[in-house]
Amino acid sequence: MNIVTILGSGTSTGIPILGCNCEVCNSTNPANSRLRTSVFLTTALGKNILVDTTPDLRFQLLTHKPDSIDAVIMTHDHADHTHGIDDLRPFSFYQKKDLPLYCSPETAESLRRKFDYIFNPKPVIGGGIPQLKLIEIPFAPFAIEQEEFEFFSLPHGRIQTTGFRHRSLAYLIDCHDVPDELCEKLNNHPLDWLIIDCVKPDPHDTHLGFDKTIEIIKKIQPKQAGLIHMGHEWDHDQLQLRLQRNGLFEAVPLKDGDILQYR
C-alpha cells in the first residue's frame, strides 16, 4: 500500500487566521486548526515524496518526522506552497546529495527568481543553503524515484498549477476548474482517493467553491474524496454534514495529520 499523510489542510493564511475572531478561528475543535496545504507520500516501494514546502514546513515535519526526503514536487509558486523551502536544508545536508525538486517550467522560472540565493548562489563565507536540483516536468507520464506519475496543468486564476496522479491517488489543488477531458481521464482510472480543493462555500476566482468541488467529484467518481485547502468559512463538522446532505457519503473534509492509504 501507498500512504498519503496530510501535513496541512488549510488555505493560504492557515486557520486560525492571525487576528480573526470568527467562530472557526476561535474553535476548540482541533479539526478546525489547519496548517497550509501540503501532503507527504510514502510509497509502497519505500520512497518519501514531499508535495510543496509551506511556511509551516518545519512544524509539519517535526510532527510527521520523516527520516528522509527522496524528492519534492512543487505544485506552483504561491507563498503558501513555497515559503518553507529553506527548511529542506537539513535533508540535503544529511543525505549528502542534491534533493530533486520537480515542477512545471513556469514554476521553475519563478522559483529561480524568488529564491535566487538557492538557485543562483553567489560565493559567500558562512551560511548554508538547501542543495536542490530543479527538474522541469512534462505534462505526461513521468517517473520520479521509479514511481510513475502523471501531471496535469490546472487553471488557478491567471496562472497554472500542477496536479498529479500517482497510482490510485489524484491530487488537484489550487485550481478554479478541472477541464472535462481530465475529469473523464480520471474517471476512467479507478481512484482510491481524490484529494481536491474546496476553499469556500461560494464560487471563487482562483479556487473551487463547494458546488464546483462536488460537481467535479461526481464527474470523476473516486472511491473516496478528501477536501483540502479550506478557509475559515468552513467548520469541519458542518462541511461534513453538507457533503452528506448532497449525497456525498464517501467524501470527507481532510484534517491535518490524516493518513490515507491507496493502492
Near Zn ion by CB under 5 A: residue from 174, 192, 256, 258: 174
**DSSP designation for 209:** B
Name the H helices within the chain.
57-64, 79-82, 89-94, 105-114, 116-119, 180-187, 210-220, 236-245
Measured from the CB atom, the residue of 9 and 43 that comes closer to Zn ion is: 9
Sign of CA dihedral 27, 3, 183, 218: negative
Using rule CB under 5 A, residue 22 touches Zn ion: yes
Ramachandran bin of 21, using left for φ above 0, alpha for ψ from -120 to 50, beta for the remaining angles: alpha
Nearest distance from residue 155's CB to Zn ion, in Å?
11
Grid cell 520537480 is found at: 102
Nearest distance from residue 54's CB to Zn ion, in Å?
9
Near Zn ion by CB under 5 A: residue from 78, 176, 212, 255: 78
Using rule CB under 5 A, residue 20 touches Zn ion: yes
43 and 2 in contact (C-beta within 8 Å)? yes
Measured from the CB atom, the residue of 65 and 158 that comes closer to Zn ion is: 158
Using rule CB under 5 A, residue 77 touches Zn ion: no
Measured from the CB atom, the residue of 34 and 232 that comes closer to Zn ion is: 232
Grid cell 490515507 is found at: 260
Tell me the three state secondary structure of residue 228: strand
Nearest distance from residue 52's CB to Zn ion, in Å?
8
Nearest distance from residue 39's CB to Zn ion, in Å?
13
Q: Which residues of 194-227 are buried (b: 16+ CB within 10 A; e: fewer)?
A: bbbbbbbeeebebbbbbebbbebbeebebebbbb
Using rule CB under 5 A, residue 80 touches Zn ion: yes
Measured from the CB atom, the residue of 20 and 45 that comes closer to Zn ion is: 20
Count other C-beta atoms under 10 Å from residue 190's C-beta: 11
Using rule CB under 5 A, residue 52 touches Zn ion: no
Nearest distance from residue 78's CB to Zn ion, in Å?
4
The piece of 102-110, 138-146, 225-233, 240-248 that touches Zn ion (CB under 5 A) is: 225-233
Tell me, by CB under 5 A, how many residues bind Zn ion.
Answer: 9
Near Zn ion by CB under 5 A: residue from 232, 235, 239, 255: 232
Count other C-beta atoms under 10 Å from residue 94's C-beta: 10
Using rule CB under 5 A, residue 79 touches Zn ion: no
**Cis peptide before 121, with omega less than 30 degrees from 0?**
no
Measured from the CB atom, the residue of 70 and 174 that comes closer to Zn ion is: 174
Binding site for Zn ion (CB under 5 A): 12, 17, 20, 22, 25, 78, 80, 174, 232
